[in-house]
Every structure is written in structure tokens, then in C-alpha cells.
Structure 1
């Protein structure tokens, strides 16, 4: 532990930053690895407060750079109070629950390897959705679903366990790539480490999202070649999921490139119908009520929110069954897998209504409409282009 600042008191403002970080950016419950028990935010605050108070001005200088003082305070606190997240597919049986961990019942040994790997990244705190969420509390479950994307992004490292893989060549058969909740768990973290069967690392790099082989200057064509197991991981994921490298390494949530993001989700499944919508909350950076038992309506509610803010026509490029609540949207994201987005992009360039409105004199004869649409209580309201085709 570092010594206190020279005046014997904590650096001005650092406790406020620490408090905000713990109570606003960290999960409700975490595993305290030294004692292998669950702790809540209050306990985290009390455990780490002495260490935060001992942060010196010299410690702060290490995080100064081009950042503001407040940003530096946030970075030094995050460095002092790290936590790791675990991303994995649910096991069929034997995984500890929140109640198991709370009562110190046998079973937490299933998390031993995860916690060992977390400590290798200097983390004494860890979080797993299987045992760190009190699903008996609707308030805690709601908060976890709404904030989960942020928690994965805030974590010092996301540790991914691919139980069915020994190398990237096994990714096509790996269930982890077929689940709904693992999509935000892939996109949200700033740093990730992939482990395969028996917890063997799938690369030699400490951060598989930013492997050394990809750290070469952009104009170095050799950096784009598959020259190591590190780059193979990102390349294999891109080929399997259609998620481009820039999204894998620096994803920005929000309501843009909507069709592409819905297409990512279209090939995934969830155990609960409602989770297909709830797993996308963080990706689109929206908020919506969590109502299990809502069934297909949960997907409709998510699409209503997206349609209110999305102004891109390609959201209607889908095929298949319609939603029972609106003919304008598909029954599930699977509708977006049935339509080739690349062909629609070419079509949308041809029908770029925004440009046509600005250059009315160049509008092709017989083409009418605009790119504005809205969901109303009567359904979808929109103007559509009419194209006269002569056979």
C-alpha cells in the first residue's frame, strides 16, 4: 500500500470520485477473491477506502498526460480498485448460484480458475452473472440487465472461457458464439482474454482485443496478415460473426448502423424469449422496463424505442414472420438474417432521398417520397418512394 499524501489527508476530490465509481459504475455484488465470498458495494467501499486515501500526488501524475484532473482521478481510482468479469456459456449443472455463494455452500470451486486468472490481472474483485446477481430481487435484476453493458466496459479485463474450443479452428462449433447475452459481452469490454478447453489460453497476448501483431502502423500491410495466434482470434471472430475489426476493438453503442447490429443478433438465441430484447439494451444504449413474462412484446417494445430514434431506411430490410403487434417489424431479429444487407446498401445509395431533397431538379422522373418515418399509436407512418418500372 502506498503512503498517504504529504499533508496526511486524501487528495482533494478523490473520495468523491471513488464513491461515485463504486456506487454508480460497479456491479451490485462482486466476489472478493481473497476470501472467496460475495461483497456488496458498501463492503467494497470500506475494503478499498484506505488504499484510495493513500493515493499520492505522484500516483496521480502517472495518469495525468493530456487528461483533465477529474479524468486522472477516475483513472487512478479504477487502477486501484479493479474487477474482472467472466463471460461464458451457462453450464448444464453444478454452477454456484447467488444463494450458494451467500451461504458459502460448496460449489464455488467452479469459479476457482476464473478467480485465479483474474488475480493474474491484479484483480481482487470478480463478477459473474451466474452467481453475482440476486435474481430473487426484481430491483437488483432490473439494474443488472440495464447496467450490464456498462459493467463489462468498466471492468479491467473480461475473461472469456470457451469450454468447447482448443483453438480458433473450433470457433464455428463453439456455443459461446450462438448465445444472445455473449454479444454485448463481446462488444462492451475494453480488454478481453480468451481461454479454451481446460483453461488453456488461446494466444500469448495479455489482451486479445489489442494483440501486439495489430499494433503496427496502419500503413504496414504486413500487420493485416494472419501471422500469429493473436490476430487469428480477431480474424476468426470477424469471419464467424461478420463483426468488423473496428467494432471488436472499439465498439460504440448507440442507435446507428441499426440493420447491421440487428443482423449480428439474428443468429443468436436466448433461453428466455424476453432476453433477446434485453441483451441488446446496452448495444443500442437505450433503457426499457424489464418485464419477464412479456414474451414477444418485449421485442416489440425494444423496436418501438429504436424506431423512434432511427432514421435509416434499412431497418425495414427484413424478411420472414412479422411481429404480432406490428406489420412493420419482424417477429424477432432472425428476420434480419434473411436479408442481404450489402445489396440493400447499394439500393439505398440509389434511393438516397436526403440528397434528392437537396437537389430536387436531379430527382429521377417518377420517384417520390422522403426518408422520414415515425411510430404512432396507429402504427408506422411513413412516405415511400414509388418507382415506375416498364416491363
Structure 2
């Protein structure tokens, strides 16, 4: 009887150490929780058999999730979110251009990420709705549409530099010229194919009218050369939220509404300037429907290269 009890105690002690080693990969709070759970189970009278100890161990393995597994789940959610965003984005906090890896690493340093990771202690905590919500909130991006003037900034002008310290490169923001390696044909093809998607998923698209002076009256937007640019079309119809700014970055018509697509005055002006119906301007959907009408819109546009007319409208 004593020998059997001694053997059972040895087995229990061995199993306890085994579980402790397994859950050492968890952070302190979860390790203590799991250890307490196992200790309480060992105090039960029916743990003299080998099968019950293994059942406790298996319960822990099934119930708890290690941080690396939680990180993988979050990382997958991040990559899905970033598939709808440009390859590089400007971090407005640091002023640095960030590729996908840098964007992920930046997210991992935030309190939101740490709180999310610490909240995932058990498999029942893997609620994808919550994870997607936190990820989508962090990776919200604002895109810019404007017309280059004298200087066209390129990637080598800003790479590894703090944007706020640069001089002589007016108008720098997210653009295909300064955030994409134009010497790389594969990377250059990305914005051509996905620009509409990027602008569609932007939280906000700001449109800078460099030829519209401050305090302009209604009609200035209609006469802006921005309306004539081929690539400008999708940068306006794709986003759900748009704000127009004048040359000095003051709001056009001093319209302080959160979305100029909801401004009847601005929509009426843009409709007359582009020939595009107001409903299409507000809620455009790509496709072959109305192809003749869309070709008429394209006929009014100008691009540097003739084939860009086709690319921008595809």
C-alpha cells in the first residue's frame, strides 16, 4: 500500500513538473493560473491513477494557448489587412517610410498589440472578430491624390530618411513615385493592378488642389487641372471618404463636413466638371456596366503616357 502510494506520488510529481515545463512558454500570469489549476487537481482524491493525471495534462494542453500560437493568429490577420494597402506607408509618428515588415514590427510595439496578445490565454479567446477589429483600427491609412508640379520625388529621395526633415521636395506623401521602386517592374506593376483596391480601403483620401488658391469660391474645383488627370479618376471614385484641400491646405469652400462626398455643392460642381453622374461619384462600382459612359469619361482625361489611359481605367 505504501509502495503504491509512493509510486502514485512520484507519478503525480513527474506529471506536475512536465506540465510546468510545458507552460513555462506562457507569460507569468498564465503560468501561475495553469499551475494553480494543476495543483488544485492534484489535491483531488481520485488522482491516484495514471489516467487521471494524463487527463489533467491533456486538458491543460487543449485549453491553454502559447504566445507564439497567438502571435501567429494575429500575424495572419495583419497580412490579410495589409493585402488591401500599399506596399509602403509613411509612419506619421516617426516620419519614416515603412514596408510591410516594418509596419508589422511597429504594430508589435504598441499597447494595443500587447493588450490583445495578453488577452489570448485560452483557445476560447481566439475570437477573430475582436482580432480583426484591433488590427483594422491600427492599420487604417490615409492616401493622397494630387498633381505633381516641378519636382517629382522618387524612392531614393526619401528612403531611410525622416520625411519631416526633408527640404525642397514639396508635396511628398504617399505616391507611387516616392513609395514604390519604379526600377522594379514587379513592384511597379502592383499599384497599376491594385490602386483602386488601396483607395477603396483607405480610411480617408485627401485631395490637394495645388492650383486652387485660398478662399476660392465655388467653381474653382471644376477648373482645376486635377480633374483632367487620368489617374485622378479612381483616386476619387474608389474611396468612401474624401476631403478636398486648397493650395495652402485649407478646406475647399471651408467645408468642414467629415466627407466631401456628402456635400451637395461639391458633388454638383464635380459632376459638371467631369461629366460623371453624382451617384457614380459617390458610390462607384467597377465592372462592364455602363462601359460606353466610362469611355466617355476617359476621353476627357490626360496622362503623361498614352497607354496610361487604358491602365488607369482597367
Under a length normalisation based on structure 1, what TM-score does the superposition of the two structures give?
A: 0.54
**Structure with max Cα Rg:** 2
CA distance in 2, matches of 1:265, 1:199: 28
Aligned partner of 2:273 among 240, 262, 271: 240
CA distance in 2, matches of 1:244, 1:76: 36
Return closer, same or farther for 1:14/1:237 CA change in 2, 3 Å cut-off: same
Report the more deviating stretch, 74-83 or 137-146.
74-83
Contact 1:101 1:108 in 2 (8 A): no
CA distance in 1, matches of 2:217, 2:179: 29
Alignment-derived partner of residue 95 in structure 2 = 36
Contact 1:28 1:40 in 2 (8 A): yes
Aligned partner of 1:140 among 187, 192, 198: 187
SS at match of 2:181: coil
- Are 1:208 and 2:265 counterparts? no
Q: Runs (4+) of structure 1 moved beyond 6 Å? A: none
Aligned partner of 1:85 among 136, 143, 151: 143
Alignment-derived partner of residue 302 in structure 2 = 269
Contact 2:226 2:232 in 1 (8 A): yes
Q: How large is the RMSD of aligned CA atoms in angstroms?
A: 2.8
Task: Judging by fraction of residues, say which structure has more helix.
Answer: 2
- Are 1:253 and 2:286 counterparts? yes
Question: Higher relative contact order by CA 8 Å / sep ≥ 6: 1 or 2?
Answer: 2
Aligned partner of 1:176 among 216, 220, 226: 226
Contact 2:151 2:169 in 1 (8 A): no
Structure 2's unaligned 5+ residue stretches are 1-26, 31-65, 120-126
CA distance in 1, matches of 2:129, 2:238: 20
Structure 1's unaligned 5+ residue stretches are 60-68, 115-126, 211-229, 282-391
How far apart are 1:70 and its partner, in Å? 5.2
CA distance in 2, matches of 1:26, 1:252: 19
SS at match of 2:287: coil
Alignment-derived partner of residue 79 in structure 2 = 19
CA distance in 2, matches of 1:204, 1:152: 22
Alignment-derived partner of residue 8 in structure 2 = none
- Offset from partner CA, 1:333-358 (integer Å, 9 cap, x none): xxxxxxxxxxxxxxxxxxxxxxxxxx
Under a length normalisation based on structure 2, what TM-score does the superposition of the two structures give?
A: 0.66
Return closer, same or farther for 1:96/1:12 CA change in 2, 3 Å cut-off: closer
- Are 1:97 and 2:157 counterparts? no
- Offset from partner CA, 1:72-117 (integer Å, 9 cap, x none): 64444222212111100121x23422110016394476247x6xxx
Contact 1:95 1:107 in 2 (8 A): no
CA distance in 2, matches of 1:236, 1:268: 17
Task: Judging by fraction of residues, say which structure has more strand.
Answer: 1
How far apart are 1:134 and its partner, in Å? 1.1
Alignment-derived partner of residue 383 in structure 1 = none
Alignment-derived partner of residue 163 in structure 1 = 210
Contact 1:100 1:107 in 2 (8 A): no
CA distance in 1, matches of 2:159, 2:72: 36
How far apart are 1:180 and its partner, in Å? 0.3
